[in-house]
Structure 1
């Protein structure tokens, strides 16, 4: 199928992928009086007395805003907020289909950090959570940090943390398949933007081993010139041996390669220089190395971001369940404990006796995964003290 041609045709037919539905009867005068004036005044007054009642008397308890400035949309880059709208609508559709979470797209006509933060801050009282989407690095780090400081609802940048969670889940099971123990692995991440840094931080938090990030200039070390704020922060806890050189240099002897970068950057020789390699080549649509090439070079486990190969490492396994759990717990934050719980729940969904090199991660279409993730995330929210129920 020519997906581009067929998708464009269908988008013209659909005229949008989401719509607002009505949850109440509006057939009689009494229906109107109860759903609207005069009856609606009473829930308004209850919320005025206690703003927490907004979670019980409105749809806020199940409502998420998907927020973008259109500056880093999929692989298309800075195409603008309106052009990013089809992606945001798609994200909202996935929220509903997989997590029964109502979501609305908010595409902001500004790349100014102050504008974005202030816009979201001012509307936060209408939502139970905010999903930041396709905002370019390093601005995305500052936007998320400042919103977490000024909002009392979960702020979650899926490009960062959703990617990190699903990678961690896949890596838990890849370690089981290859007989590795978490703790002393050498993990090389190529791509030191939002996703790469978030993956690195979560893998370090989960104590997988030593993480080395690479960008166009090779391995990142603390003290390097021209590091972004996110790169500088992670450089203080990664690349413990301060290895320098190209991607090929640092891949020698590595246990894991994780690619969130560009097509065809990894060669078979680079894979064969690794140690019983785990290769997650997730550049889309063309990975850093094609799975057949990685396997022929000796890779033990291979995953990509694509649906036409085994082990698709896809964020749709993460964000519907994470937000479902956060909303169910009425959480004020999505913290590290909740992210780790989500990764563990996704990994544990596959029984150990079913794991094999081409089956380390559940299908992105398995509708039972979000429920398992939601349960684990809600429990973690309670244990970590961010639940408000």
Structure 2
């Protein structure tokens, strides 16, 4: 039975590009894969035919020979034999399908496709939780932190090999870091068990780092905390993380900031809130009070006559600075009218007298009890 034209098998034109060719093969290979067509005895033959066609057309030299001589280019004694293609086994669909397998699943097999895996590995990123006061968050500060981490081994310069020797290419995976195994129609890649995926082995490991290329050490780092930081602010220190394995690049250090609660001020973004107690006399008669500000200063606030608990006043520009920006938040003053305690007999006497004389000076109380009386009358009715 004569072989079908390879372009016809794959359903593509002769001027097809590599991307379209692979896409066409992948689609048809998935359609006729024997594992998906167990009840179709012709599926395996069609799958082999597809793989043979793709294995030929994906190779530029084979494709050129096929375009010129057709199937005769690969027959024994044909033009292909003189050109170097004679005797090559076709139908090697496992090899052809592995290209598509790599394209579909390579990212899940732990490494780049089509190239040797580098022996060096990037170091891990590190996290450090730092607590700062609200005053430090307001003005910014500089802190020194001690970070336990891995640093490049000075004895072997990070190579992991002793005496200035160099790591050798792994004989099991030829430096790929991965080995392939045939499973039915699939070619499956696994991490090389000899080198652990590094692609290289060390014959004489460094006695200090035992071949890792890095050692544990505590480092002191100076960290600049900018003004305006909030809880959750993340500061990245590039290259200050864990040293890479066998000379690989260093990871980063991330500082996570936590601003401690303050005994006087409560923060809300760039604004501050401060609850200030005032006496009944000051709230009733009015007056001036001094309140603290986050910068350590004082501000004079005028209390209007008849102020009630919960009244708020704004001090503009007395809040927190914006992180890495221009502008300043405000400070909100909330009055808390304080009821006096531990009264003397004279004070109690004066308050009773004041109470008798102030029946018309409590509008909120009068309004409330009028509503209560109306409510009770309605219930009785």
TM-score band (shorter)?
Answer: under 0.3
Which has more radius of gyration?
Answer: 2
Structure number having the greater strand percentage: 2
Structure number having the greater helix percentage: 1
TM-score normalised by structure 2 residue count: 0.20
